[in-house]
Structures are given as structure tokens and as C-alpha cells.
């Protein structure tokens, strides 16, 4: 609201997030601590405004008793105290940075009012402007404080085993490889991997998911997670300042400073508006002096300076972005800045990946088919030999289904088809039907695919050994999520590298009416344009295999991004948890925030447009314009804070989703292609 609102922002390096002392945060461009005062009466501007208001009130009372000179002195003192909240910063910006902004207009108006003898009006300007500026600082500090409160999830000390002895250390003293001891009810001080013990981890404060997660040896523990079960030992894998929690706070703080299209629009209007207002006021004073009383027109010029000041416009969107992005982070979604927030609020179509997004990303072997004299164990062993060199989601399921993993040589991935290699010198292939001829298993394979399973064939030499059916179950909340998106007026589509039959079965269960199957990653990106239908489109995926589509969509949304650098960096929005219900919630939240932005911009421009002519022709005096102007600014601040509130999803007002019998599926397949990696489950 001071000069910093309209001039170019001064860049400054971001400090490293320190978990042990979250109170030592950065300062914003106003010189205020990000955490800010705990209560509104601790805000310096509001304190100055209160003192100035008291002085002004006493001055009025004294003047009414007949001691006008004393009353005028008190009013002048009120004006000086009120101006102390913005005049020093204005002068610094003019002298050091040569920056002209809103504070410049207010300073000129205040000095001019005193020079013309309108001391009471100058004092009112100082009081009301200080109140508005103080409220802005407090609102920003409150929303940032809510985000930084995440760091309060980290305990002040951690129990560590060193040289066989358990000691208490500060989180910043933890080093890689330390063994933290977490007892029931204790929080993790940083990221690590469980080495001994089994437990349930409560991640609700981090991801927004209320259901505890079972964890055991080899599972990841994130900073801030609560141990809800037995005692466990966790090997430290990240320093406290580099933990997933610290990284999330850092990313969202940066995101709050990024500017969206609406914010850039407000800047484009506000920045040239300030010098234009000064020129306009000078013209009013100059031309008016030629046709009338110079003092009258000089007074009107000062009133125009206040009336046209774009305070509300300059803060309308930045404050909304800060509030909305901070609130989204506390609900389990990282929104990377104002641009992503605005685009998210305009989404009309959502394309979803299947594996890991609509499904649980926990595939398991549900059936094994054999041919000739091959046994189930031989089929699984041959497949596991190749999959042991693969990072594909199906590899985990196949490896978990057998204890026999013979060594394989020359393992090579054939993108979109499968894997090749050799076992004891004999060529072996693992891949999708079509690349490997299914032979006598074609009927059984079709049956399994229609039941929603992904089938891969195993061939040794020129002999088909058999087939393995793997199924990744649909998330239980998926149908509810698709229904919520439908109620928001958002179309949905499934994009998958899986085969057409499996994709159809899962889409039927979820209630998705458009499916594009058997796609390569680049095919998903290419399809997005045809799915737009003139609307903004979002792509929801895992942030790795779906990177091309995430980058191509208007908004890329990564699922399960907690602790995943690739997902966070690739996507515009990252859902930290695995609960798909965060998707419609963050979309509804972004729509609400965008409505608040448009309301604030519209109100700000309307106030300026109405006050300028009324001030220029003397209809409104300085006191009235100051009151209306600052009241509008306070209204914009209060409205912007609404963006931090949770947005309930709309009630069911439309027809229920189509049943499997009437579901109109649009299957767009590409039989010659498959998913990326070893088979067709991506």
C-alpha cells in the first residue's frame, strides 16, 4: 500500500529455511517480519493510527470549548503521528530507489492539506491510511504465519542413537545416517527411512489426509509425521533444513510471491497510474488557476490525488494470492503462485492418468496363465528376471509374487512394448499382447482384461510360456471425486497407456465417460488440445511418466508429491497426499479465490472511476474522499482474506453419474502403441 505497492519490487535472496528457529523469518518488502505480530493491536501502523485518532479527538473537543489554537496544534500533532507510518518510507524510496508510488500521493496530499490550513483533513488522511496499511500488513502476516506454522510440527529435540547411547539433540544437529528413535505420539524431526519396527504414521497435518498410514522397515517417514503405533528407529536421509516439510514451506513462500495474470494486470494499471495521477492533479491546479480561484483548484487537485490513489487496486490480488495459496498448502495442495492459482480457477476439463492417480499404485498379481509344460513358477521366475532391472510399477507386483529371481543379461526396454533379455543364454521377452503373440491364451487374456487386469506375456526362445495378470485397484474415492468434478461443471477424461479393455473397465467403475487408451507419454500431451473444447485443461498425473502432459496442460497437477522433487518441480500444483478428494477441493478453492480477485479489481477500479470526477468538480471534499477511499481499501483487504477460507463442494443438483449399462465411453485407441516402459500399465 505504501510506495512498494506500485513500483518495481526490490529483489533479495531467499534465506535458508531453518527449522530450529522458525521465528527468525525473512522480512517482507515493507520491512515487516513475515510472521508478523500475533495480535492486531501489536501492528505498528495501527498503534500510530490509534495515537493519532486520540490526538485528533482531543483536538476536536478542545476546539469546541473555544481554544481553537490548542485544538489546531493537537490536530497537527495527529497529522504528524499518522504520517509517520508512511512518510519515512516514501522519502527513502524517492531518495534511494527513485520510486514513485501510492505513498508519494498521500504524502503530497497531506503536506498540501496542511499548507492550505486543512489540518483536520490531513490528520484524518493519516489516521485512515495508517489503519488500512496496518490491516494489510496484519492480514499478510496472518496468512504467512499459518503456513510457517507447519514448521512448528517439528519437535524442538530429537532422540538419536549415537555410539549405542540415546541422546537428545536439536533438529539442526541431525546428520545423514543418524538413527532417530520415535516413540508413540512423537513427531519426526526430519525425513528418514524406517529401519526397525512397525507403526502407523499420522500425516494429517502435512497432507490433509486423516487416515493413518501403515509403515514398516524400508518405508519413508516425512518430517512432522506423528508415530501412532510402536517405537521405531528411523535412519535420517535429509538434514532438517532440507526436509520435505522445509522444502514445502519454501516452495509455497516463493509461490505466494509469484504473480498471476490478474496480478500483472493490476500492476500494469497501477504503476503508470501513479505518475498519471500526479500529472492530472497538476493540470487541474494549473488550468483551474487560469479560470478561477487558484486556491480552490489547488485544493481540488489534492483531493484528486487521494481519490485516484490505486491503493486498493495494488493490494487486491497480491493479498488474495497470499491468502489462497497459504490456505491451499494447509489443505494438502501446493499451488505454485498466482498464475497457477488463476489458471486453476478457470479449469473446465480435467484429464487423469490411470496408474497411481485413479488407481492405488499398488498393483498385485491376480492370475498366472501357463501353456504346454510350463509351470506357474517358471513363468513368474522368467518375468521377475527381466523385471528386476526395471522400475516400472508392474515390476514390484511381479517381484513380490515369487522368491525365485534368476540372473538375466542384456535386459533392454522396448518403449511401448516390453522388455527383452536372456537367461542362461536363452532369449526371453516380456511384454504386451500384440508384441508377443498370445496364441492359445487369447480368450483368457480378453477375459482378464475385461475384468480390469493388465496382462503381460512371457516368451522364452520362440516358445510362449504363459501370461501374468496384474491389477491395480481403483481408488475407493475415485467415483466420488469424478462426481464432485461433474457437479463443479468440469469434464473428465482418462489418458492411459494401458489396453483398451482394462481402461474401459476402470473408467466404468469411476464414472468417466471419455477414455483414451494405449498411449505413449507424448501421445497424452498431444491429445490435450483436442480435449479442451475451448476451455482450460488440467492434467493430473504422477509427475514422472506424465511429465510431457503435465507441462503441456494449462495446469499440471501431480499426485502424491510429498517428498518427490520431480513431481513438485514439474507440476504447477502438487497434491501432497494420496487422497484424490483433494483434487475437487483445490479446484473449488481456486475458483473461489479467482472470484475474490475479480471482485477486488472491479471494486478498486469502480471507486477510482467514481471519485475522480466528483473530486475534480468539487462535489466531494478531502475528508469525504479520504474516508471513502480508505473504507474501500479496508473492504478489499477483508474480502481478500475470504480467499483463505475453505470452500465447500456444491451439493448434488444434477443427475447421478451414468451407470455401467448406460455409460457412453469414447474409446480412442492406438493398437500399435503402448505405454512407456516395459508394458502397458502406465
Q: Which residues are catalytic?
A: 353
Cα–Cα distance list, 351 to 177, 426, 491, 664 (Å) = 41, 42, 8, 17
DSSP secondary structure letter of residue 357: I
**570 CA to centre of own chain:** 13
**Per-residue cell: 181:** 528413535
655: left (phi over 0), alpha (psi -120 to 50) or beta: beta
3-state DSSP helix/strand/coil % of the chain, to nearest 5: 50, 15, 35
**Per-residue cell: 581:** 478428494
**Residue given cell 499451488 in the structure block:** 335
Contact 49, 131 (CB under 8 A): yes
**∠ at Cα 495 (489, 501), nearest 5°?**
110
**Per-residue cell: 246:** 522445509
The DSSP annotation for 199-236 comes to EEEE-HHHH---S-EEE-TT-EE-TT-EE-SS-EEEEE
Gap between the Cα atoms of 111 and 125, Å rounded:
11
**Residue given cell 510431457 in the structure block:** 548
Contact 141, 44 (CB under 8 A): no
Closest of 501, 499, 574 to residue 541, by C-alpha: 574
Residue 228 — φ and ψ, nearest 5°?
A: -100, 0
Gap between the Cα atoms of 57 and 205, Å rounded:
47
**Per-residue cell: 158:** 530429537
Cα–Cα distance list, 517 to 362, 437, 469, 479, 670 (Å) = 20, 20, 18, 19, 7
CB atoms within 10 A of CB 661: 6
Closest of 77, 53, 73, 52 to residue 62, by C-alpha: 73
**∠ at Cα 17 (16, 18), nearest 5°?**
110
Cα–Cα distance list, 228 to 181, 196, 220, 225, 639 (Å) = 13, 15, 15, 9, 40
**∠ at Cα 653 (650, 658), nearest 5°?**
110
Contact 475, 359 (CB under 8 A): yes
Contact 78, 56 (CB under 8 A): yes
β-strand partners of 232: 182
DSSP secondary structure letter of residue 3: G
Residue 200 — φ and ψ, nearest 5°?
A: -115, 130
Helix (H, G, I), strand (E, B) or coil at 367: strand
Gap between the Cα atoms of 56 and 24, Å rounded:
37
**∠ at Cα 352 (447, 412), nearest 5°?**
65
Amino acid at each position: 500500500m505504501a510506495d512498494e505497492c506500485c513500483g518495481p519490487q526490490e529483489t533479495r535472496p531467499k534465506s535458508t529455511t531453518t527449522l530450529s528457529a522458525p521465528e527468525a523469518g525473512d522480512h517482507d518488502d515493507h520491512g515487516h517480519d513475515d510472521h508478523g505480530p500475533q495480535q492486531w493491536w501489536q501492528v505498528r501502523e495501527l498503534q500510530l493510527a490509534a495515537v493519532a485518532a486520540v490526538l485528533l479527538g482531543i483536538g476536536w473537543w478542545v476546539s469546541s470549548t473555544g481554544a481553537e489554537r490548542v485544538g489546531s496544534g493537537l490536530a497537527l500533532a495527529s497529522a504528524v503521528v499518522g504520517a509517520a507510518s508512511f512518510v519515512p518510507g516514501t522519502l527513502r524510496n524517492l531518495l534511494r530507489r527513485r520510486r514513485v508510488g501510492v505513498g508519494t500521493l498521500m504524502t503530497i496530499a497531506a503536506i498540501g492539506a496542511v499548507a492550505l490550513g486543512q489540518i483536520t483533513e490531513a490528520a484524518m488522511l493519516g489516521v485512515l491510511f495508517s489503519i488500512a496499511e496496518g490491516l494489510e500488513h496484519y492480514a499478510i502476516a496472518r496468512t504467512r504465519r499459518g503456513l510457517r506454522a507447519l514448521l512448528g510440527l517439528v519437535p524442538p529435540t530429537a532422540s538419536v542413537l549415537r555410539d549405542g547411547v540415546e541422546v537428545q539433540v536439536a533438529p539442526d544437529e541431525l546428520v545423514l545416517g543418524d538413527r532417530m528413535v520415535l516413540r508413540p505420539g512423537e513427531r519426526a524431526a526430519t525425513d528418514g527411512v524406517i529401519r526397525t519396527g512397525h507403526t502407523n504414521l499420522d500425516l494429517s497435518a502435512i497432507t490433509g489426509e486423516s487416515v493413518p498410514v501403515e509403515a514398516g522397515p524400508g518405508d519413508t517417514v516425512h518430517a512432522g509425521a506423528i508415530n501412532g503405533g510402536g517405537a521405531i528407529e528411523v535412519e535420517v536421509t535429509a538434514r532438517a533444513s532440507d526436509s520435505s516439510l522445509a522444502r514445502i514451506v519454501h516452495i509455497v513462500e516463493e509461490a505466494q510471491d509469484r504473480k498471476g495474470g490478474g496480478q500483472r494486470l493490476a500492476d500494469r494499471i497501477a504503476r503508470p497510474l501513479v505518475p498519471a495521477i500526479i500529472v492530472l492533479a497538476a493540470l487541474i491546479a494549473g488550468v483551474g488557476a487560469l479560470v478561477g480561484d487558484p486556491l480552490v483548484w489547488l485544493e481540488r487537485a489534492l483531493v484528486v490525488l487521494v481519490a485516484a490513489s490505486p491503493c486498493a487496486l495494488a493490494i487486491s490480488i497480491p493479498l488474495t494470492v497470499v491468502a489462497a495459496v497459504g490456505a491451499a498448502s494447509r489443505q494438502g495442495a501446493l499451488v505454485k503462485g498466482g498464475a497457477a492459482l488463476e489458471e486453476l480457477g478457470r479449469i473446465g476439463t480435467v484429464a487423469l492418468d490411470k496408474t497411481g492417480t485413479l488407481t492405488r499404485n499398488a498393483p498385485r498379481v491376480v492370475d498366472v496363465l501357463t501353456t504346454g509344460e510350463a509351470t506357474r513358477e517358471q513363468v513368474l521366475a522368467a518375468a521377475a528376471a527381466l523385471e528386476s532391472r526395471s522400475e516400472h510399477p508392474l515390476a514390484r507386483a511381479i517381484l513380490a509374487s515369487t522368491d525365485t529371481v534368476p540372473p538375466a543379461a542384456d535386459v533392454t526396454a522396448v518403449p511401448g512394448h516390453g522388455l527383452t533379455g536372456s537367461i542362461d543364454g536363452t532369449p526371453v521377452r516380456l511384454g504386451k499382447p500384440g508384441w508377443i503373440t498370445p496364441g492359445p491364451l487369447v480368450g483368457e487374456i480378453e477375459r482378464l482384461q475385461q475384468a480390469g487386469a493388465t496382462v503381460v506375456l512371457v516368451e522364452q526362445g520362440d516358445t510362449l510360456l504363459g501370461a501374468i495378470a496384474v491389477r491395480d485397484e481403483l481408488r475407493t474415492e475415485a467415483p466420488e471425486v469424478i462426481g464432485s468434478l461433474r457437479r463443479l461443471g468440469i469434464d473428465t477424461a482418462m489418458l492411459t497407456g494401458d489396453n483398451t479393455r482394462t481402461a474401459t473397465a476402470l473408467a466404468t467403475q469411476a464414472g468417466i465417460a471419455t477414455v483414451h487408451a494405449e498411449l505413449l507419454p507424448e501421445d497424452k500431451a498431444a491429445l490435450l488440445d483436442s480435449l479442451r473444447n475451448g476451455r482450460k485443461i488440467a492434467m493430473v498425473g504422477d509427475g514422472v511418466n506424465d511429465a510431457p502432459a503435465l507441462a503441456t496442460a494449462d495446469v499440471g497437477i501431480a499426485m502424491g508429491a510429498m517428498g518427490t522433487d520431480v513431481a513438485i518441480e514439474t507440476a504447477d500444483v502438487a497434491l501432497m497426499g494420496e487422497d484424490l478428494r483433494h483434487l475437487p477441493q483445490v479446484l473449488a478453492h481456486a475458483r473461489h479465490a479467482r472470484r475474490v480477485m475479480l471482485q477486488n479489481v472491479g471494486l478498486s477500479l469502480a471507486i477510482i472511476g467514481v471519485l475522480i470526477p466528483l473530486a475534480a468538480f468539487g462535489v466531494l471534499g478531502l475528508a469525504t474522499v479520504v474516508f471513502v477511499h480508505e473504507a474501500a481499501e479496508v473492504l478489499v483487504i477483508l474480502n481478500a482474506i475470504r480467499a483463505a477460507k475453505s470452500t465447500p463442494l456444491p451439493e448434488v443438483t444434477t443427475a447421478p453419474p451414468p451407470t455401467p449399462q448406460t455409460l457412453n465411453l469414447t474409446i480412442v485407441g492406438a493398437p500399435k502403441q503402448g505405454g512407456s516402459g516395459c508394458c502397458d500399465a502406465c
